[in-house]
Amino acid sequence: MATWEQNRLGDLVETQKGYAFKSGWYSDAGRPIVKVSDFTTDSVDSSSLVCIPEEIAADYLKYELKIGDVVVQTVGSWPTNPASVVGKCVRIPSNAAGALLNQNAVKLSPTKALDAQFLFYLLRSDDFKTYIIGTAQGAASQAAITLEAIRGYEFAAPPLPVQRRIAGILSAYDELMENSQRRIRLLEAMSRALYREWFVHFRFPGHEKHPRVASPLGDIPQGWEATTLGAHLAALESGKRPKGGIREEAEGVPSIGAENINGIGRHEFASEKLVPREFFEQMRKGVVRDRDVAIYKDGAYIGKSSYFRDGFPHSECCVNEHVFLLRANGVRLKQNALYIWLQEPDTVQTIRSKNANAAQPGINQQTVGGLELILPDENTAAHFDRLVEPLLAEIINLAKRIQNLRRTRDLLLPRLLSGQAALPHSASPSGRGAELDVSRGIQQTSGAVQPA
């Protein structure tokens, strides 16, 4: 049996704190900056990174991030808000490589005695999370941890070959999840490209037989309609949460808030809240139905939308008062097209420009109902719906697969890191067979991890 030696993290890593880049430097182009607000559950959302000019960035290249770098959040929330919890550990993805690390985070670079991937999973463990929260200080709304506290974490680690085998098993799950996420992005891009071809450029099948006619929104195909969203909605409603806010319920029904509105197939389960079942059963509005489209109605990111369908993210859930649920009447406007239209940058920009509350960004039902759009005839609407339906359905299937893979990986992680699960012979599985190979490791519920 391999000997697992006790270590102090600070003896095995080098650290690099992020830099407080000035907001006055921010620009639309240049070198991206990774902030803690860009952290996802275990990675970085690179879709909206701010930038600074390259000529300024040239003086701060020591803060540059590489693929696979391990970063820990040093300022954030307490565990009651998992989405931004202090001590969160993320790994830099390929599409954030080359970015610079902002303040309130620290990069950890392992020495030769510690595998980088093993380090990432170690800092994702409940043991590290419990330890680091125990060192945190701050007010009720914000917590902070010190570099010395991170360096002071003590843990048992196997020899490098065993570290690599453990990391190989866990990273196989991450690779499968990333493959599914890439497919989701491709399928969504395909559906949005088809929408623009038909409904923005008007190059739909048979468009040659539809001469353009004048409308309040410009020339449109004959038989189409320039209208408002409200005229084609069967329902537009928001939800609520119990008076006094949500306590940390151990059981209940998921209540989706604005922080969970991230697009089809993307959902931050860690930041979700629960409402008591009795409260849920008394709700008259805001209960999610299959294929409901949701829109973030107030706050910093108004106009973001999601699509709840086919039991994802939950077969039973509701929304709070910061989210609108939209249901089309299904004639000229169907749910698939409604969601894709809401994802269009021009639509999002229009929604944000109609802010109904200067003090707190937000939109109301009248604003949403008054949004202008162009809708096709019924036959074209039905044809488009049939074409995009399998694309969106596959996105949900992939999202469910990711959810299952993440759940299984997280169950396996503590067993492997504690040496309680035996390693399978195949340490670096890939492709479809990877899930079967790695699952064999899960089935080993006893015995210590053995070195190669």
Q: What is the mean pLDDT of residues 152-170?
A: 94
φ/ψ of residue 80, rounded to 5: -65, -15
pLDDT given at position 247:
60
Task: For residue 422, name the pLDDT band (cuts at 50, 70, 90).
Answer: confident
Instruction: Say if residue 354's pLDDT is above 90.
Output: no
pLDDT tens digit sequence for 327-343 = 999 999 999 999 999 99
Q: What is the mean pLDDT of the chain?
A: 89
Contact predicate 379/386, CB 8 Å = no
Q: How far is the C-alpha of 119 from the C-alpha of 109, rounded, in Å?
A: 9
- State residue 338's pLDDT score: 98
What mean pLDDT comes out for the span 282-311? Answer: 93
Check whether 436 has a pLDDT greater than 50. no
pTM of the model: 0.85
Specify which of 44-53, 132-141, 380-389 reaches the highest per-range mean pLDDT. Answer: 380-389
Q: 282: Cβ–Cβ under 8 A, 6 or more apart, which residues? A: none
Which pLDDT band, with edges at 50, 70 and 90, does 248 fall under? low
> Exposed (0-12), middle (13-18) or buried (19+): which is 168, by Cβ within 10 Å?
buried
Mean per-residue pLDDT, 278-307: 93
Q: Examine the pLDDT at 431 and tell me if it is beyond 80.
A: no
Tokens of 4: 């697992």
| Amino acid (one-letter) located at 34 | V
Is 439's pLDDT higher than 60?
no
Q: How much is the pLDDT for 243?
A: 81
Percent of the chain beyond pLDDT 70? 90
What pLDDT shows up at residue 430?
A: 44
Torsion of CA 406, 409, 414, 416, to 10 degrees: -160
- Mean pLDDT within 341-368: 85
Q: Look at strands 13-17 and 318-319 and give their pairing.
A: unpaired
Report whether pLDDT(428) > 60: no
pLDDT average, residue stretch 155-159:
93
Judged by average pLDDT, the poorest of 148-162, 256-270, 382-396 is 256-270
Q: Give percent above pLDDT 90 in the chain.
A: 76
pLDDT for 246 equals 64
Which residue blocks in 147-211 are alpha helix, DSSP H?
A: 147-151, 160-199
pLDDT of residue 260: 86
Range of weakest confidence among 24-38, 238-252, 419-433: 419-433
pLDDT at 262: 87
Q: What is the mean pLDDT of residues 277-282?
A: 94
